Amino acid sequence: MVWMLRFVLLLLLILFFYYVSKSFLTPNRKLKSARKQKRFLLLDSDDVRRNFLLTYKGAVFTGEKYNGSTAISITIWPQNNPSGLAKEDFNFIEKKICEKYPNAEIHWKSPIRNS
């Protein structure tokens, strides 16, 4: 009986450390940290069919990728109000996305389209 109790406690301890380490390595935690520090971070999987998240100077953007016949089309829109960003900031974001997807066509949804 004592061995069974020790085994269950050991199993619970292993599960606890697994969930704690998993929570520290989640991409959303990295995104929140980068947003608070107002730095650039692009969270993207290698799967072209999945959306990506990026943050720059405290603003969070979502990008949707479409795999076309010749190039990838990317549409980007803000999740929160991107106040304080200038045209150069959006050019920087486009440059960083083009580094990952060199032949991509980038489109901004409004209200950024008119900036």
Q: pTM for the full model?
A: 0.73
Burial (0-12, 13-18, 19+ Cβ within 10 Å), 54: buried
Residues 79/56, Cβ–Cβ less than 8 Å:
no
| The predicted structure's pLDDT at residue 25 | 80
Helix extents (H) in 1-115: 2-24, 27-37, 87-100
Burial (0-12, 13-18, 19+ Cβ within 10 Å), 73: middle
Walk along the chain (115 residues) in steps of 10 and give the mean pLDDT of each run.
91 93 83 90 80 91 85 87 84 91 86 57
Q: How many C-beta neighbours within 10 Å does residue 107 have?
A: 15
| The predicted structure's pLDDT at residue 113 | 56
